[in-house]
Amino acid sequence: MSANDGSAESRRQFLSFLASTPVLAGSGLVPYFASALASAQDLPADLIRAAEEALNVFAFEPVAKDRMLPVHYGYTASGTDDEETLRANREGFQKYRLRVRRLIDVRNVDTSTEVFGQRIDNPIMLAPVGGQGKYHVEGEVASARAARVGGHTQILSTATSQTVEDVTAARGAPIWFQLYPSNYWHVAEALAKRAEQAGCPVVAVTVDRASPRNMETLERYRRADTTNCNACHTFGPPAERLRDRAMYRGIDLDGIESLQASGLTWDFVDRLKSATSMRVMLKGIVTAEDAALCLQYGVDGIIVSNHGGRSEASGRSTIETLPEIVAAVNGRIPVIVDGGFRRGSDIFKALALGADAVCIGRPYVWGLGSFGQAGVERVLEILRTEFERVMKECGVTSVAQINSSYIERA
């Protein structure tokens, strides 16, 4: 071993000790040392070493896995039960084929579109992903800066590591807020009011969290991880775990026994719409019947989602669910979809099936965990480039031209 190799190894061991020692618990320095440790690690020869080397979004996952703590990677990768729904989200795209047209001038392509009457640069949104500080020291702020570069709409999770105010400032434009409702109205109301005061025009209520999730992949990684998590996580009752989270500070959490929204009903929609001027979307709608009820209860928009395969063992992909939702709402409210998006062709297929926009989750988290803001920027750049290329392949020059004539069942 050379002197330089010995020095690097000593640095890695020292940073590893700092990242796991209980002495630093609650200091705010743990994410910094975890990030420094990641940058100190030599990547295996078969992994990309810089964000610009990536040819597609898949190149980021093994790098993120190498640099994340095992339990954090396990949380990100995990679905529910045997992960049939997680796999279905990817496999669903193979059940549709594109119908391409020829002899069309596609020298000038416009990827902009409109949602809620607002023009946006492209239909690729950042899905809400909680606790991004476990992937990189700048967390959601780094993602926001990357979204700003590419002109992407960002949806911030209730479980964010950074405040809605800081993320909005980093994005340089209003962001959307995702709300975990729980069974405690005063908590939901306080979260919604703070998001509204921060300038969020839309609140997306997650409605697929009625019971705890069985995340077996996460549990396997947790058992294999020897990291002392007391340094960066608070354990105990829900109230204790939430007190130091960015969006829960200042909220009365006494007596909260569960974070699950097991008592959530359609009455919540009426109550929330009366309490906020933000547009109210429901995230987690996967059937035509519930889509019809969304219209009945005045919901402003739908995000077709199964929480990335984490909230249900249905085995149904969101891309296959999408057509019945689109048919049920018949253009009266926007329909957005997430789940398994990895390619520009995936995005085109969703728009051809009637979606107004798509959300991506895991790919930009892989980028964040690999190279921070630069990784997220590159992931989004790849998806924008692929999407524009597929538009040209199919012979369309604007998002408005994409319709069902460009797609068929395989």
Angle between helices 60-67 and 70-77 (to 10 degrees): 140
Q: Which residue carries 């990309």 as its tokens? A: 48
> How many other C-beta atoms are found inside a 10 Å radius of the C-beta of residue 219?
13
Q: How far is CA 241 from CA 228, 234, 253, 409, in A?
A: 16, 5, 10, 46
Look at residue 142 and give its three-state secondary structure.
helix
Buried b (16+ CB within 10 A) or exposed e, 391-400: bebbbbbebe
Residues facing residue 285 across a β-bridge: 304
- What the block records as the tokens of 326 is 């689109």
- Out of 72, 136, 152, 307, pick the active-site residue: 307
End-to-end CA distance of the chain: 56
Confirm if 336 and 304 have CB atoms less than 8 A apart: yes
Confirm if 166 and 194 have CB atoms less than 8 A apart: no
Regarding beta strands 118-120 and 155-156, do their DSSP bridges make them parallel or antiparallel, or are they unpaired?
Answer: unpaired
E strand map for 199-299:
202-206, 279-285
Active site residue 136: no
Active site residues: 307
